[in-house]
Amino acid sequence: MFKEYEPINKKMFQIIDNDGKIINKKYMPELSDELILKAYKDMLFARTADQMIVSYQRQGRIYTYPPNYGQEAISGAVVQIMRDQDWLVPAFREMGAYLAKGASLKEIFLYFMGYEDGVNFKNAENFLPYAVPIASQLIHAAGIGYEIKYRKKDQVVFTFVGDGGTSEGDFHEALNFAGVWKAPVVFIVQNNQYGISTPFRVQTASDGIAIKSYAYGIKGIQVDGNDFFAMYKAVKESFEHAKAGEGPVLIEAVTYRKGAHTTSDDPTKYRTKEEEESWDAKDPLKRLKAYLTSKKLYSEKEEEKLIEEFKKEIDRQFVEAENYGEVALEDVFKYTYADMPTDLREQMIEHEKFLQWKNARN
Amino acid sequence: MKKIMNMVNAINDALDIKLSEDERIIVYGEDVGVEGGVFRVTEGLQQKHGVERVFDSPLAESGIAGTAVGMAVAGLKPVIEMQFSGFANPAFNQVVSHVSRMRNRSRGKYTSGMVIRMPYGGGINALEHHSESLEAIWAHIPGLKVVIPSTPHDAKGLMIAALESEDPIWFMEPKRIYRAIKQEVETEKFSIPIGKAKVIQEGTDVTVVAYGAMIREVQKAAVLAKKEGISVEIIDLRTIYPIDRETIAQSIKKTGRIITVHEAIKTFGVGAEISALANEEAFLHLEAPPKRVAGFDVIVPLPKGEQHFMISPEKIFYEILRTVKY
């Protein structure tokens, strides 16, 4: 696969077309119907949750949130391969991956409601908090990769960034370190065509991102990020490559951010409706669903029922998050250092005295 | 002529005026062109002045600051935006190692006159890394001047001055009051000198120094104090560095008491500098220890914990009372 789809050949790796038909049999992964169906349901759950969060935000029940809409196949494929012991080093637009790693929806809600507790991920191992400073997380993935090699562990690191993030120096440094160390890291660039309002052509003069892999002496591949099977195959091969000690892989997943950058953003300022609609035919769920229905593995009727169930579960967890309660004053202080310095403790005590005065006064 | 403006309009107006009269000025950064910036501060400027003068850059803060050094030494006047103050950190190396030092290193042969502008501060229910107030860090770098306006009028006048300065200006915009304060601002060009503070309310019992979004909170605290018969003198610092020692010292000599209020964390902050200044310039006039009302020495909490961190008028009033009754 890597050989045939060398980035220099400028051939994007695809397996199904927009109608869910297999157009590249040679690389079609051998997957059970159950797994494919599960993957679809994972993606559908992620999409339903994503859409509900956006509406919660519109209702003023949650703060700024970065929608995943249109990009679900990327995380959707990764999570079928990522094992419990593997590392997930996220950016902030990979909800499917968080859920599979063991984050609860409630935790995801908590974070975007403004609780630090939301990135504690109580039931997930080897999962770093989201990285808002663009591309900075990629270097951490390389460092984790070093530890895995050093201790000869059976682990792989999956890390994500967007196309905008590839402009940061940290992107270069991460690939360079990981390449030199042959670190077991799978770098996944979600090329969704926009960094907020900035289109890909303004971001880089490069012909895609995968081609940059040559400069670091690592494997690279450009994949149709809206094609679940292509993503599965590419991630699986990359995972095996990294796991075998052959070094990191750079996957460019070509996709489209159908939603806004975040709920604070207004895409009508910088792109046309025609452009947005032109990507509807390539929608990742629509394509996988077409495949499943053609195999009689799934039906619209089932979908309606599923969405209803999902919505109930999502709302249940949302309401739980809404009732999480207040953040105690001490929580603002106590995670700053292993042992709270005296000076800092005094600031807290002084503030408590003020609060007592204030309460007595009111 | 005057027009009602908020701070976003006022900065936009200053940029527009200077773009029109100074061909050296180039405005760029992440999303500043087509979209006009995530807070719309540069809205409409690309349409009016062209894509060569106002444009979107790749997403790379170090690259933005570093290319600005190149433009500046070659004779242009870059105005670059850091999308949020918390995202300026990748540019730290360029700013500390080159922007601030070019004049000194080249013994005045080259300069890196530019304006580096960014929204900063908390109180808007933002995500991580969107709420910091790092002015003390930037003010600690020789060669940089650090400016923070508190009103639309000041934002326009200070931005004009920044665009006419030969030195690099670190221009921090308190985003919490981007749209919260509207006032009549002259449509003509005018400038407010960098390095001068302003006494915005005269008083006799205690001096309170603040800047940016904290000015409004101090004004509310002063109203509470007045009800208790305490007369508060308020100084708007306007420029963090060079700090206006004279205006502050004079005021302390009059009131005998000094409190500094800032949202930034307390330790090694601007308030520490002002307390030192009080001791150095007005020691024998002091009737109470110089006081700081500032953020705790912690990471700014996410929205649900932020109310613990943000400074309220009551907290300022509480410290005013303690200082006056000392």
Q: How far is B280 from chain A (nearest CA, A)?
A: 24
Q: What value does the mean pLDDT take over residues A108-132?
A: 96
For residue A202 the two structure tokens come to 């303004």
Q: What value does the mean pLDDT take over residues A79-98?
A: 97
Contacts of A132 in chain B (CB under 8 A): 127-130
In the 8-state DSSP scheme, what is residue B312?
Answer: P
Question: Does ipTM surpass 0.90 in this model?
Answer: yes
Q: What is the pLDDT of residues B141-174, one digit of tens each?
A: 999 999 999 999 999 999 999 999 999 999 999 9
Q: Are residue A40 and residue A187 in the same domain, yes or no? A: yes
Contacts of A331 in chain B (CB under 8 A): 301, 305
Are the CB atoms for B58 and B90 separated by under 8 Å?
no
How far is residue A51's CA from residue A66's CA, in Å, rounded to a whole number?
11
Q: Which residue in chain B is spatially nearest to A350 when comparing CA positions?
A: B296
Sheet (strand B258-265) strand order: B198-201, B232-236, B206-210, B258-265, B291-295
Contacts of B39 in chain A (CB under 8 A): none
Q: Which residue in chain B is spatially nearest to A116 when comparing CA positions?
A: B302
Report yes or no on A2 lying in a domain.
no
Is residue B129 classed as helix, strand or coil in its secondary structure? coil
Contact A265 B38 (CB under 8 A): yes
Q: How far is A331 from chain B (nearest CA, A)?
A: 8
Q: How far is B80 from chain A (nearest CA, A)?
A: 16
Of A113, A164, A197, nearest to B304 by CB-CB distance is A113
Q: How far is A360 from chain B (nearest CA, A)?
A: 12
Residue A198's domain is classified under what CATH number?
A: 3.40.50.970
Nearest Cα to Cα of residue A164 among A241, A86, A66: A66
Contacts of B259 in chain A (CB under 8 A): none
Are the CB atoms for B200 and B234 separated by under 8 Å?
yes
Q: Write out the residues of chain B at the interface with chain A, using a CB-CB cutoff of 8 A.
A: 30-31, 34-36, 38, 56-63, 86-87, 89-90, 125-130, 266-267, 296-299, 301-306, 308-309, 314-315, 318
Contact A114 B299 (CB under 8 A): no
Are the CB atoms for A122 and A107 separated by under 8 Å?
yes
Q: Are residue A183 and residue A285 in the same domain, yes or no? A: yes
Q: Are residue A33 and residue A153 in the same domain, yes or no? A: yes
For residue B201 the two structure tokens come to 């309310």
Are the CB atoms for A273 and A212 separated by under 8 Å?
no
**For residue A136, what are the domain limits?**
7-327
Task: For chain A, give the percent of residues with pLDDT over 90.
Answer: 99
Q: What value does the mean pLDDT take over residues B64-84?
A: 98
Q: Which residue in chain B is spatially nearest to A198 when comparing CA positions?
A: B31
How far is residue A79's CA from residue A231's CA, in Å, rounded to a whole number?
11
How far is residue A71's CA from residue A168's CA, in Å, rounded to a whole number?
22
User: Residue holding tokens 């053609």?
Assistant: A294
Q: What is the pLDDT of residues A214-240, one digit of tens each?
A: 999 999 999 999 999 999 999 999 999
Is residue A153 classed as helix, strand or coil in its secondary structure? coil
Of A165, A197, A331, nearest to B35 by CB-CB distance is A197
Confidence tier at B53 by pLDDT (50, 70, 90): very high
Contacts of B173 (CB under 8 A, 6+ apart): B7, B11, B41, B117, B118, B119, B120, B148, B149, B155
Contact B35 A134 (CB under 8 A): no
Is a pLDDT exceeding 90 seen at residue A193? yes
Residue B124's CB: how many other CB atoms inside 10 A?
18
Question: Count of CB contacts below 8 A, A vs B?
Answer: 116
Q: Are residue A224 and residue A353 in the same domain, yes or no? A: no
Angle at B42 between CA B41 and CA B44, to 5 degrees: 120
Q: Are residue A337 and residue A224 in the same domain, yes or no? A: no
Predicted local distance difference test score (pLDDT) of residue A219: 98
Q: What value does the mean pLDDT take over residues B111-139?
A: 96
Q: Are residue A30 and residue A130 in the same domain, yes or no? A: yes
Third-level CATH fold of B2-186: Rossmann fold (3.40.50)
For residue A177 the two structure tokens come to 């370190």
User: Residue holding tokens 């953020």?
Assistant: B295
Angle at B174 between CA A332 and CA B290, to 5 degrees: 65
Predicted local distance difference test score (pLDDT) of residue A362: 79
Of B57, B128, B299, nearest to A132 by CB-CB distance is B128
φ/ψ bin of A176: left (φ > 0), alpha (ψ from -120 to 50), beta (otherwise)? alpha
Contacts of B30 in chain A (CB under 8 A): 195-196, 198
Of B56, B59, B129, nearest to A132 by CB-CB distance is B129
Residue type at B316 in one-letter notation: I
Residue B313's CB: how many other CB atoms inside 10 A?
19
Of B38, B60, B89, nearest to A167 by CB-CB distance is B60
Question: Which residue, among A108, A332, A355, A358, would best test binding to B if mutated, counting the most B CBs under 10 Å from its CB?
Answer: A332
Contacts of A197 in chain B (CB under 8 A): 31, 34-35, 56
How far is residue B122's CA from residue B303's CA, in Å, rounded to a whole number?
9
CATH number of B198-324: 3.40.50.920
How far is residue A306's CA from residue B2's CA, in Å, rounded to a whole number?
60
Contact B38 A270 (CB under 8 A): no
Q: Are residue A254 and residue A144 in the same domain, yes or no? A: yes
How far is residue B283's CA from residue B31's CA, in Å, rounded to a whole number?
49
Beta strands in B71-133 (DSSP E): 77-81, 115-120
Contacts of A357 in chain B (CB under 8 A): 318
How far is residue A324's CA from residue B244's CA, in Å, rounded to a whole number?
47
Measured in residues, chain B has a length of: 326
Q: What value does the mean pLDDT take over residues B193-204?
A: 98
Contacts of A358 in chain B (CB under 8 A): 314, 318
Q: Are residue A338 and residue A310 in the same domain, yes or no? A: no
Number of domains, chain A:
2
Task: Please identify every residue of A annotated as catalytic.
Answer: 257, 261, 270
User: Residue holding tokens 């947005």?
Assistant: A276
Contact B59 A203 (CB under 8 A): yes
Q: How far is B234 from chain A (nearest CA, A)?
A: 22
Q: Which residue in chain A is spatially nearest to B86 when comparing CA positions?
A: A133
Q: Are residue A306 and residue A346 in the same domain, yes or no? A: no
Q: What value does the mean pLDDT take over residues A303-318?
A: 97
Q: What value does the mean pLDDT take over residues B71-75?
A: 97
Of A134, A326, A347, nearest to B59 by CB-CB distance is A134
Q: What is the per-residue DSSP string for B255-299?
A: HS-EEEEEEEESTTSHHHHHHHHHHHHHGGG-SS--EEEEE-SSP
Question: Is position B153 annotated as part of the catalytic site?
Answer: no
Residue type at A254 in one-letter notation: V
User: Quick check: bond before A184 cis, omega within 30?
Assistant: no
Q: What is the pLDDT of residues A250-292, one digit of tens each?
A: 999 999 999 999 999 999 999 999 999 999 999 999 999 999 9
Are the CB atoms for B176 and B123 separated by under 8 Å?
yes
Tell me the whole-structure pTM to 2 decimals: 0.96
Question: Which residue, among A132, A203, A268, would best test binding to B if mutated, counting the most B CBs under 10 Å from its CB?
Answer: A132
Report yes or no on A1 lying in a domain.
no
For residues A190 and A362, the model is more confident at A190
Chain-wide mean pLDDT for chain B?
Answer: 97
Distances in Å between the Cα of B320 and the Cα atoms of A348, B208, B228, B233, B277 are: 19, 9, 11, 11, 19
Q: How far is B173 from chain A (nearest CA, A)?
A: 19
Specify the DSSP element, H or E, that contains B26: strand B25-29
Residue A294's CB: how many other CB atoms inside 10 A?
13
Contacts of B125 in chain A (CB under 8 A): 63-64, 114
Of B126, B297, B309, nearest to A344 by CB-CB distance is B297
Catalytic residue among B49, B130, B153, B262: B130
Q: What does the domain layout of chain B look like in residue ranges?
A: 2-186, 198-324
Strands B239-241 and B145-147: what pairing?
antiparallel
